[in-house]
Amino acid sequence: MEKFQIEEVKKRKMMTKMVSVDLDRASPVLLLRAYLCAKRMFPDVPLEVLVSPSGVGFHLKIHTKVSIEENLKIRALLWDEPYRLYYALKKWALNPQEEYIDLVFDEKNDGKEKCIDLEAMLKPYEKEVEEINKLVKEGKTEEAELIVQTVAKKIEPELSKYKKRQWVCCIIFRGDGLRDKLEEICGDIAAKDSTWSYRMYPWWAPEFDWCLALFTDDKDKGWKRLVWLKNKTPLKDTETRMWCKEKTST
C-alpha cells in the first residue's frame, strides 16, 4: 500500500472522545440554532451547554466518540468558530496522529466556563421547538428560522444574566505589508499575554484596507492598547482611524 494511502487509513482510525463547538458570540439566536441542530443530529447523546470563560460566547459539548474527519464536519455544521476550525484542520494536515484536534478552553483570563440549563429555559416553548424541528425536516428552513429568532428573543433575558460586557477597539489602516507586520506583532504579544485578544479583518470602504480589532472587557485598557499600537509600531507612519465600541450580539 502506498504511503499516502496508509496515512489516510490512519487518519480515519483516529478518534476524538467529544465534539466541542465554540460559538464566539453571545448570540441567543446562534446558540439556539446550533443547540437544536445538535439535538437533531445526536438525539440520544448527552449534550452540555456552557457559557464560555470570557462570558461573551457559548460552548456546546457533545459526548460522543467520532473520527477526526467527522469531528471537523460536525463542528462546521454547528457554526463552530471559523479560525478554530482552520487551526484544527491545519494541525490534522500536519500530523495525522494528532490527538488534540478538538480543544476548548474551560478557563481563560481568570474566568471559568459555566453550565446553563438551556433545556429548562426552553420548557415553556416546547410547541415552538417542535414546530422548528418539523419545519426543518420539511426543508422549510426560512420559516423555522423566524421561529428560532422569536424563541431566542424570549429566552434572551435569562441568557443575559451570564453575559459580560465587552468592547471591540478598532484601528483601520492601508497596506498588506503593514497588515503582515501587525499580525506578527500581535501574535507575539498574544503568545505571552492571554488577555491580548485580536482579529484582523478586511476593510471594504475604499479609504482603508484592513481593520485590526482588539477585544477587551475594559474599555480604557482597550483604548490604551490602540494608542500604544499607533505610537509604537509602524502604524505611527501611516494614516489611521481609531474607535472603541461596546460589542453586542444578535
> Which candidate, 135, 33, 26, 189, places its Cα nearest to that of 181?
189
Tally of domains within the chain: 2
Same domain membership, residue 105 and residue 50 = yes
Find the mean pLDDT for residues 239-244: 96
Range 86-94, long-range pairs (CB < 8 A, 24+ positions): 92/11, 92/68
Same domain membership, residue 173 and residue 123 = no
- Measured between alpha carbons, how far is residue 206 from residues 152, 162, 174, 182 in Å? 36, 39, 10, 20
Same domain membership, residue 150 and residue 175 = no
Domain final residue, candidates 128, 160, 192: 160
Residue ranges making up the domain that contains 128? 3-160
Find the mean pLDDT for residues 56-62: 91
pLDDT (tens digit per residue) in 71-104: 999 999 999 998 889 989 999 999 988 888 888 8
Same domain membership, residue 137 and residue 42 = yes
CATH number of the domain that residue 218 is part of: 3.30.70.100
Same domain membership, residue 91 and residue 70 = yes
Domain final residue, candidates 160, 190, 212: 160
Domain final residue, candidates 123, 143, 160: 160
For residue 21, the one-letter residue type is: V
pLDDT (tens digit per residue) in 161-219: 887 778 999 999 999 999 999 999 999 998 888 789 899 999 999 999 999 999 988 89
> Which candidate, 78, 72, 73, places its Cα nearest to that of 59?
78
C-alpha grid cell, residue 20? 466541542
Least confident residue range of 18-22, 23-27, 142-146: 23-27
Distance CA 248, CA 232 (A): 30
Same domain membership, residue 110 and residue 69 = yes
The reported pTM is 0.74
Same domain membership, residue 218 and residue 195 = yes
C-alpha grid cell, residue 35? 443547540
Q: Residue 6: is its pLDDT beyond 50?
A: no
Same domain membership, residue 182 and residue 140 = no
